[in-house]
């Protein structure tokens, strides 16, 4: 397992600002109309096509959302996991199961279906000559204040649910689009609903938002995000922080991770081990 490095100094002082590649112009224009703070890779990279995975968890309902739950029902520490634009995927199920069972202690992990299987992004949307409207419609939904409020009220619902009264500590782990909801919960004034957070392949980062966050925050970026924005966000955090850049595609720890490729699988697993190390330290 990789050891944790301090954010200040070290290899991060030598990271050059990431230069965005040349993405399809029509997708850049479509995204710009909807929300210009998204990573280009977030809205142009399709999900990876990988083999099937048999989820180890079960299903429940939280705050009106069908929710995948995995891990020990007796665990005293739990994780709210917010998936990416593709919703439930083999990589997302497997990641939740890893977080639940591969750490230094068991965790109870919840993955609510905030987007819904009927609205989640589809692989075909990112193919050449694909219709742009479905992606635009989805972005309008996931960037709405209503959706961000749903994530916050679900965190509240989990903490007050009689079934989980025994849980003493809560973490938030977000992927791509999901990192925004986790960040907003952590940034809320007053006592945070989350005791620690981890953000991977973050989208819509707002460095100003970070100025109110005291929650220990880990950020794992890919080659698809603006490293300058990521560093600014982390520099503004008021609590413990950790930043590491992976030379992998945006979303390598969720639906875009091609786990059939050895390198990606290795970095996928390393990313989750880093998150587990962070949780072991602060959760």
55-100 pLDDT, tens per residue?
999 999 999 999 999 999 999 999 999 999 999 999 999 999 999 9
- Which pLDDT does position 77 carry in this prediction? 99
Rounded CA separation 91/97 (Å) = 10
Length of the chain: 283
CB 110 within 8 A of CB 67: yes
Rounded CA separation 237/252 (Å) = 25
Rounded CA separation 21/223 (Å) = 10
Classify domain 10-282 at the CATH topology level. Rossmann fold (3.40.50)
Which pLDDT band, with edges at 50, 70 and 90, does 48 fall under? low
Rounded CA separation 220/224 (Å) = 11
Which pLDDT band, with edges at 50, 70 and 90, does 40 fall under? low
CA atoms within 13 A on the CB side of 278: 30
- Which pLDDT does position 191 carry in this prediction? 75
Rounded CA separation 132/72 (Å) = 42
User: Domain residue spans in the chain?
Assistant: 10-282
Which pLDDT band, with edges at 50, 70 and 90, does 229 fall under? very high
Whether the predicted pLDDT of 1 surpasses 70: no
- Which pLDDT does position 12 carry in this prediction? 36
Three-state secondary structure string covering 130-147: CCCHHHHHHHHHHCCHHH
Percentage of residues in the chain with pLDDT exceeding 70? 82
CB 199 within 8 A of CB 220: yes
- pLDDT tens sequence across 136-186: 999 999 999 999 999 999 999 999 999 999 999 999 999 999 999 999 999
CB 1 within 8 A of CB 273: yes
What kind and span of H or E run contains 241?
A: strand 241-245
- Which pLDDT does position 10 carry in this prediction? 40
Give strand pairing partners of 146: none
Considering the chain, what is the average pLDDT of its residues?
A: 86
Q: Output DSSP code: residue 76.
A: S
Mean pLDDT of 217-231: 96
**Chain mean position to CA 76:** 22
Percentage of residues in the chain with pLDDT exceeding 90? 76
- Which pLDDT does position 7 carry in this prediction? 45
Which pLDDT band, with edges at 50, 70 and 90, does 46 fall under? low
Indicate yes or no: pTM above 0.75. Answer: yes
């Amino acid at each position: 397992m990789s050891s944790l490095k301090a954010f200040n100094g070290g290899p991060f002082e030598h990271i050059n600002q990431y230069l965005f590649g040349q993405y399809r112009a029509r997708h850049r224009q479509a995204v710009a109309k909807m929300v210009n703070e998204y990573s280009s890779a977030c809205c142009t990279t399709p999900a990876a096509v990988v083999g099937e995975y048999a989820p180890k968890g079960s299903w429940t309902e939280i705050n009106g959302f069908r929710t995948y739950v995995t891990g020990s029902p007796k665990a005293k520490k739990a994780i709210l996991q917010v998936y990416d634009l593709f919703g439930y995927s083999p990589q997302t199920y497997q990641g939740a199961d890893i977080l639940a069972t591969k750490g230094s202690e068991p965790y109870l992990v919840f993955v609510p279906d905030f987007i819904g299987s009927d609205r989640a992004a589809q692989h075909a949307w990112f193919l050449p000559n694909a219709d742009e409207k479905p992606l635009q419609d989805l972005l309008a939904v996931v960037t709405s204040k209503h959706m961000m409020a749903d994530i916050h009220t679900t965190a509240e619902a989990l903490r007050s649910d009689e079934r989980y009264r025994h849980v003493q500590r809560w973490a938030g782990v977000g992927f791509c689009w999901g990192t925004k909801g986790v960040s907003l919960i952590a940034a809320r004034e007053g006592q945070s609903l989350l005791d620690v957070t981890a953000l991977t392949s973050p989208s819509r980062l707002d460095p100003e938002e970070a100025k109110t966050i005291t929650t220990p925050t880990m950020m794992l970026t890919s080659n698809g995000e603006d490293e300058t924005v990521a560093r600014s966000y982390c520099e503004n955090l008021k609590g413990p922080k950790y930043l590491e850049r992976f030379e992998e595609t945006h979303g390598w720890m969720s639906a875009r991770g091609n786990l059939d490729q050895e390198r990606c699988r290795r970095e996928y697993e390393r990313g989750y081990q880093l998150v587990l190390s962070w949780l072991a330290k602060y959760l």
